[in-house]
Amino acid sequence: MEFTLVPRHLRGNGGQLLSSPIPPAFYGDRRLRRFQFSTFPKNSSSQIQNNLHSMSSSVLMPSSTRCEVSSASTFQEVSDLADINWDNIAFSPLPADFMYVAKSLEDGIFMKGELQRFGPIPMSPCAGILNYGQGLFEGMKAYRKADGSILLFRPEENALRMRIGAERMCMRAPTVEHFVDAVKQTVLANKRWVPPPGKGALYIRPLLMGSGPVLGLAPAPEYTFIIFASPVGNYFKEGLAPLNLIIDTEMHRAIPGGTGGIKAIGNYSPVLKAQAIAKNKGYSDVLYLDSVHKKYVEEVSSCNVFVVKDNIISTPEIKGTILPGITRKSVIEVARRQGFQVEERLVDVEELLSADEVFCTGTAVVVSPVGSITYLEKRVEYGNKGVGIVAQQLYSALTGIQTGLTKDTMGWTMVVD
Ligand SMILES: Cc1ncc(COP(=O)(O)O)c(C=O)c1O
């Protein structure tokens, strides 16, 4: 099932956002700045733009601890880049200044959120997330174009995926409209952390968690939606060099009927052990097979996988145990537009080993070529040291759109500026 096929009732509740009861938060000994906006009417893009502009003017005042509407010169000043070495950013936390926080009411409607300075969040030890892992996350990127404007890539797809995940996990979720608006607010508030063109991206991490108290196993009575951001470079230490993957035949990422098809927080810590063993042996990451037949390719710990044979591109079909990646979906569309035959189907591990090319896709990894795969002690290497021509072509096409270097004829990018 593709995640755009969303039942209508999951798509939104009209975007009504009520006022927030979140207490003022503190970070260190400084009172945090809080930013509240008026209600969030449906289809009010111009009002959102106005809010965003005044917000961006007010929240970015350097070293001030108070929220004031600033002058144009302040806006100019705070639009500058953060003072870090942009040539040396990794895929590790370097939290940007502000995070967005919104909470649900008991009827499940999310209230209007606010921007707070990044920092610890108060949480009851009885919270559903802490006791029963009731949590989801998303991952997306914002790129800075040469003209200074900032682009998001298909943010509504992340919003929909979070809503589908929330339904599976009996959680309340923000509407698509609320989610996208919150992402834009977070990016604008942290604008100075969006790397210069060609130096990386601002990684945006929306989190949805059961924050209300539970004791017996039950859905939490209250949910918190948080978005934080961090500038990032390449996900793998290999950079753009081909990955060396190992197939784990003992440990599995997902089971039929489980939650492998959503971005549940609990899907990720179980793969840490397999990943650690693989990394200790010098591999970049682990490729998982299906847990029933142990012969069909599923995905890597945090990305989808594609194989190319005789110019036909194939990728495991989405059937509940594989995350429906937004990059996967976009790469399929781009490849088809370029005239490739793309098949979504069961991919036998033997096909993987005899492929001409293999590559991975994901927000974090973008399109990463695979140089070798090790399966049952046998290592298969791919031609041209793994830098396949199809992966290269798709990488260029996709990143061209994402970074604004090529015209977005797909309508996938959203300008935040
Ligand atoms: C398990 C898993 N598969 C695939 C992906 C790729 O998804 P996307 O392209 O939406 O980033 C991710 C990334 O979050 C992931 O965690």
Lowest mean pLDDT among 29-38, 94-103, 253-262: 29-38
Helix extents (H) in 207-257: none
pLDDT-above-70 percentage for the chain: 80
The DSSP code for 303 is: B
d(CA 313, CA 333): 12
pLDDT-above-90 percentage for the chain: 75
Higher per-residue pLDDT: 247 or 241 = 247
What is the model's pLDDT at position 68? 30
413 C-beta closer than 6 A to ligand 1: no
275 C-beta closer than 6 A to ligand 1: no
Q: Which of 313, 309, 288 is nearest to 383 (CA)?
A: 309
Give catalytic status of residue 329 as yes or no: no
What is the model's pLDDT at position 279? 96
Work out the average pLDDT over 393-409.
Answer: 96
For the chain, state the CA radius of gyration. 22
d(CA 56, CA 46): 15
Q: How many CB atoms lie within 10 A of CB 236?
A: 18
Range 243-403 has CATH code 3.30.470.20 = no
Any idea where the domains of the chain sit in the sequence?
8-232, 243-403
φ/ψ (deg, to 5) at 244: -115, 110
**For ligand 1, mutation pick of 297, 304, 329 (most atoms within 8 Å of CB):** 304
Catalytic residue among 112, 141, 263, 329: 263
Ligand 1 nearest atom to the CA of residue 303, by list position: 4
22 alpha carbon to ligand 1 midpoint, in Å?
31
Look up residue 147 and give its two tokens. 């003209």
If you take atom 15 of ligand 1, which residue's CA is the nearest one? 302
* Summary mean pLDDT of the chain: 83
What is the model's pLDDT at position 238? 65
pTM reported for the whole predicted model = 0.82
Three-state secondary structure string covering 82-138: CCCCHHHCCCCCCCCCEEEEEEECCCCCECCCEEEECCCCCCCCCEHHHHHCCEEEC
**For ligand 1, mutation pick of 262, 269, 360, 363 (most atoms within 8 Å of CB):** 363
d(CA 92, CA 233): 9
List, in sequence order, every beta strand (DSSP E) within 188-316.
201-210, 223-232, 243-248, 285-289, 297-300, 304-309, 312-316
Q: Tell me, yes or no, if the two domains 8-232 and 243-403 fold the same way.
A: no
Work out the average pLDDT over 254-281.
Answer: 97
3-state secondary structure of 59: helix
327 C-beta closer than 6 A to ligand 1: yes
**Under 8 Å CB-to-CB from 202, ≥6 apart: which residues?**
96, 141, 142, 143, 150, 187, 190, 193, 194, 195, 229, 230, 231, 232
pLDDT category of residue 239 using cuts at 50, 70 and 90: low
d(CA 252, CA 362): 19
pLDDT at 263 > cutoff 50: yes
304 C-beta closer than 6 A to ligand 1: yes
pLDDT at 415 > cutoff 50: yes
Work out the average pLDDT over 260-276.
Answer: 97
What is the model's pLDDT at position 63? 29
Per-residue pLDDT of 304-362, as tens digits, reads 999 999 999 999 999 999 999 999 999 999 999 999 999 999 999 999 999 999 999 99
Fold topology of 8-232: D-amino Acid Aminotransferase; Chain A, domain 1 (3.30.470)
How do beta strands 140-144 and 150-153 pair?
A: antiparallel
In the block, tokens 């950013």 appear at 89
Please, are residues 300 and 286 in contact by the beta-carbon 8 Å criterion?
A: yes
Ligand 1 nearest atom to the CA of residue 139, by list position: 14
pLDDT category of residue 387 using cuts at 50, 70 and 90: confident
pLDDT at 156 > cutoff 70: yes
If you take atom 3 of ligand 1, which residue's CA is the nearest one? 303
362 C-beta closer than 6 A to ligand 1: yes
What is the model's pLDDT at position 417? 78
3-state secondary structure of 44: coil
Look up residue 151 and give its two tokens. 């682009």
Per-residue pLDDT of 112-144, as tens digits, reads 999 999 999 999 999 999 999 999 999 999 999
